[in-house]
Every structure is written in structure tokens, then in C-alpha cells.
Amino acid sequence: MSTSKLPPGPQNRFLLGKFQSIIKPLETLEKQARIYGDIFMISVGPSNTPQVVVSNPEGIEQIFTANLEKLDSGGEAGVKLPLLGQHSILALSGSRHKRERKLLMPPFHGERMRAYGELMHNLTEQVTSQWKIGETLSIRSSMQAISFEVILKAVFGLESGLRYEQLKELLMAWMNPKKPIVQTLMLLFPALQKDLGDWSPWGSFLRLRQKMDELIFAEIRERWSKLDSSRTDILSLMMAARDENDEPMTEVELRDELMTLLVAGHETTATSLSWAFYWIHQQPLVLEKLRQELDNLGDNPEANDMMKLPYLNAVCQEALRIYPVVNFGLPRIVKSPLEIMGYQLEPGTIVSACIYLTHHREDLYPEPKQFKPERFLERQFSPNEYLPFGGGNRRCLGYAFALFEMKLVLATILSRWQLELADSKPVKPVRKGILMSPKDGVRMVVKGKRTQQQQVLQGAVS
């Protein structure tokens, strides 16, 4: 293909078009891909900023491997979530991003991460111990409770007490708004971010954020006053980290990264787990095969053994493929003329790898709407073909932590509980903030606990 200017795609200059892309993002993306193909340009936001959408693995590889002087995220292209702050790794670019990423890497090292296995297991047992046989529950609410406790204890390192309860209440108020569509519109349209007092949505948010900040800064200052090298929570490890100039992270940097880990690691994991429970129970053969694999581990298996189970891994990968929690990787901005898939892109253009469209390519994933974990046992997909956590220098730092938690929670619950879907109606994805979440949270019925005899019989059948 000769180098040429990329022709414009759908412009969405009218309010109706923008509203459709917010309310029905997946349908809109699929329609655009059918019309315009693997790479097309759209206009986003009130200013109609040009954004190039790429779903071709070749083009995605070019994005992920481009020289940072030509294409980088952060800055103008960075994620602008007001809860996170300007020092969030998602908002930084260049040397500042590189420094922050290096400081944040140690807490997510494999050896460190495995230390959180017992905590994740215990918190899963604690939340599910409240289940009652015969009740119908939202599995997403339970998964949210588990992932939230993991964040507060493994990331923030908070112990039960007044500050713990206050912060939990404030964070839950933000993560579960009474009017989610209003919050979504506020995040997507800065013009709506007007403080008109306590009664206004933005004013209410600002006051909630101020209260959270007071609690978080109080925790950070208390930790600084009595540093404890034996602590293994992620906040303590971040406080101990030093850059090449032997400088630690500042209070504001610590606060912004904590909020980033909360937002990126709480809702996403809870949503991914909810989808996994839906698909597993929507297809009995998948559930049976997964239980056989888990039962073969015997009583009280080690977390490391669970992590190595091939079918459990494939189930998690397929759940993350079919409905990735975010539709796009982090946007990048063209800094100097750049060629992607033979097209010349000018400085100022925003470029995004479309995770959802890539994960639904027929040439990569035959019958992409079908849940088929076996596809991940039959072949290895490249980072440009399978990218639930983004890629390149912007791949999610906590991806291994998220997968570890996802596998451990699934294994713990499926080994001990019998659940079934409350009805046979397909569960559809709906927008929840910037994420795609299962509508109604996946309603499930608690049928009972699995007995040792059931596990032995299951293993005998296999």
C-alpha cells in the first residue's frame, strides 16, 4: 500500500451520533468496522479531535513498537479521569512515565505477588460465607466486594478501623453512583464539570474526592512517621522505592498512583470475574471440565498449583477476550509524521488500538461471539492479537496481579460452591463509566456447597 492520507470515517459531529457511541459502544464499533475496515478515523469529544481506530494486528504492532518520540501516550493523549490526578501513570508521558513505571514495578514482581495469595483466598471465603443456600444474588456485587477488600488490604495495606471504614464508604459511593449515566457523561464531557454546589453532580464529586484525599494523605503521613520494612502491602513497597537519583515518590504521587490502582484494579477485576462466572455456568461442559481440573488438585491445593492449570487459564483468557472491560488501549498522540499501515498520520492525531474489534476478528477467533476456552489451548496468540491489558510501554502494570486474583477467586468458589444462573436469558454488556459490565450484574442462585463426596465422584468420572 502506498503511503497516503487516511480517509475520514464516521464523524459523529451531531449529538445523536455521540450519544449512540456512548450508550451502544460495541454495536457502534462493529458497524463502523463493517463499513470502514481495519483502520479508520473518527472524531471524539466536544472538540471533534481526530482519532484513528486500529484493529489490525499489523497496525497494532506498529503502534506498540513506535519510537516514543513519534508516538506516545500521556500528556494530551493521557487518560483524564478526575479521580486519579495529574501524577497518575496513565496521565504521564516521556521520562516522567518511565520513572513512575520503574518505581511501581517492584510491588508487582512475581515473588511479591504470590504473597497475596493467602489474603485473596481468605477474603473470598469471608465474602462467600455470607451466602445463603437458595438465595438469588448478583455475582458482580460479590466479586466487587472481594476485589475491593483485596485493594484496601493488599494495595492500601489498611487494617480494620475508623479510617478503613470511612474510606471504604467514600470509595464505594464513587464506584457505585446512584445515577451512573450522569457520572459517565461528566467524565466524557468536561463542559459538564461545573461546581454548582453540593447538590450538583460535579460539586458532589469534588467534595467526595476531598474527603477521600484527607483520609489517604493522613494514612500516607502516618506511614512516613513510622516506616516498617516488614510490611508487604503495595503502598509500603511504593514508599520504599527510589528512583535513579535516590528520590522517593512524593505524597501526591503516592496518592495518585493509589487511586489509579484502585480504579484500574477494582472494577476491572470484578467485572472480568462476573463475565467468567456467567460464561462458565452458561455452558455446563465448560463448568464440568473446569471442576474436573480443580478436583484433580486434591484437598487444600497451593495457589501456585492453581495458577498452572491450563484450562482455568484458558477460561480466564477467553472471558477477557469476548468482553474486554475496556474497548480501547490507552490512546497515543502522534508527535511527528508517522506511518501506520501505509497511511501517513500527522502530528496531533490520536491513535488507539481497539481491543474489542481485534478480539472479535473472524480471521483470528472463528465464531468470535462464542465462548470457547479451547481456542487458547490450541494456539498461542501474539501481544498484537490478544491485548486485554493493552500493550507496548503502556501495558497494564497490574495485569499479572489481576490474572492471579481472577484465577484464585474462581478456583476457590467453584471448588466449594454450586451455583446456577437465575434465568436462561443472555446477559448483555452495558456501559458502566468507561467500562463494559454485564447488565444486572449476572443474577445467580446459590444451590449449595459442594461436598467431598461430590468432588471424589467428579474426579472418578474424569
pLDDT tens-digit readout, 15-58: 455 566 777 888 989 998 999 999 998 876 555 677 899 999 99
Three-state DSSP class for residue 431 = strand
Q: Which of 320, 334, 290 minimizes the C-alpha distance to 72?
A: 334
Q: Which domain holds residue 60?
A: 1-67+326-387
At residue 41, the 3 state secondary structure works out as strand
**What confidence tens digit (pLDDT) does each residue in 128-166 have?**
999 999 999 999 999 999 998 998 888 888 888 888 889
More confident: 74 or 327: 327
**Residue-level pLDDT at 41:** 86
Shared domain check, 139 and 6: no
Set of cell numbers at residue 422: 437465575
| C-alpha span between 452 and 415 (Å, rounded) | 10
Cα Rg, the chain, nearest whole Å: 22
Domain count along the chain: 2
- How far, in Å, CA of 176 to CA of 237, rounded? 29
Do residues 340 and 313 share a domain? no
Burial degree of 133 (CB within 10 A; 0-12, 13-18, 19+): exposed
Residue 8 pLDDT grade (very low, low, confident, very high; cuts 50, 70, 90): low
Residues 301 and 402 in one domain: yes
Give the pLDDT mean for 229-248: 86
CA-to-CA distance for 414 and 289, rounded, in angstroms? Answer: 12
User: Three-class SS of residue 15?
Assistant: helix
Task: Note whether 367 and 302 are within 8 A (CB).
Answer: no
Helices (H), 176-233: 180-188, 201-225
Give the β-pairing of 136-138 and 49-54: unpaired
Residues 119-130 pLDDT 10s: 899 999 999 999
287 and 397 share one domain: yes
Whether the pLDDT of residue 425 is over 80: the answer is yes
Residue 266's pLDDT band (cuts 50, 70, 90): confident
CATH number at residue 36: 3.30.43.20
How far is Cα 302 from Cα 121, in angstroms, rounded to an integer? Answer: 11
- Residue 147 CA, chain-centre distance (Å), reads 12
Residues 208 and 337 in one domain: no
